Amino acid sequence: MKKSFYLRLALSVILLMHSVISIFSGDVNDFGHAYLDRLGFSPAGIYIAWAIKLTHLLSVPLLWIDQCIKPVAVCNILIFISGIYYVHWQNGWFVVGGGTNGIEFNVLLIFCFFNLMYPEVSLYFMNKNKS
Burial class (CB in 10 A: 0-12, 13-18, 19+), 127: exposed
- The residue that leads in pLDDT, 129 or 53, is 53
pLDDT 10s digits, 47-91 = 999 999 999 999 999 999 999 999 999 999 999 999 999 999 998
pLDDT 10s digits, 8-22 = 999 999 999 999 999
Enter the pTM of the model. Answer: 0.89
- The greatest distance separating any two alpha carbons of the chain, rounded to the nearest whole angstrom, comes to 58
Residue 99 backbone phi and psi in degrees, to 5: 175, -170
Query: Which residues are CB-contacts of 63 (< 8 A; sequence separation ≥ 6)?
Result: 8, 11, 12, 69, 72, 116
Q: For a pLDDT cut of 90, what percent of the chain falls above it?
A: 76
Per the document, the length of the chain is: 131
Residue 97 Cα distances to 14, 53, 85, 102, angstroms: 20, 27, 21, 10
pLDDT at 130: 60
Which of 49, 71, 47 shows the shortest CA–CA distance to 59?
Answer: 71
Residue 129's pLDDT band (cuts 50, 70, 90):
low
When the pLDDT of each residue in the chain is averaged and rounded to a whole number, the result is 92
pLDDT at 123: 76
